[in-house]
Amino acid sequence: MRAVPFFVQYASSLPHNGRQYRYETLIATFAPLEPELVLANTLTKASPKTYQVWHHRRLLLTALRDPVPELAFNEEVLKADPKNYHTWSHRQWLLAHIDQADLWASELPLVERLLADDVRNNSAWHHRFFVSFENGTKVGTGDDSEETVRREMA
């Protein structure tokens, strides 16, 4: 088991209102959020199964609105634990919150790679359903829904 630095343990243990206060202070003082996201990267890698770090990331990303680096970071965390509920939940939130067709379109290749590694990864199967049928750009609904069902049933 690797040692976790004290600041990571401390920041991960802050109560919800402490993290919210930190975020509100950053916003009120117009502090750059990118360094906070770098710190959040460290915290998330150290404690990927705590919702608190993922919630703090959501707050930061709502302000930053730059999903591409976050999706890459999320994929990196999934490599370490491809069945982590919090990681998948955050990814789905990010896709739905940003809701860009190109981001949705790039998800199936990721899922297919993960399923090739482990066909029993229920989290990846769930994400595949989410991407195919519940995405915000409505790909998989309307005119192309029959095509999507055929693809998924093949």
Mind telling me the catalytic residues? Answer: 49
What is 113-149 written as a DSSP string? HHHHH-TT-HHHHHHHHHHHHS-TT-TTSGGGHHHHH
| Token pair belonging to 148 | 């999507």
DSSP structure string for 36-76? HHHHHHHHHHH-TT-HHHHHHHHHHHHHH--HHHHHHHHHH
**Residue 52: which of 18, 29, 5 has the closest Cα?**
18
Q: Which amino acid is at 106?
A: S
User: Which residues lie closer than 8 Å to 121 by C-beta, 6 or more apart?
Assistant: 82, 83, 114, 115
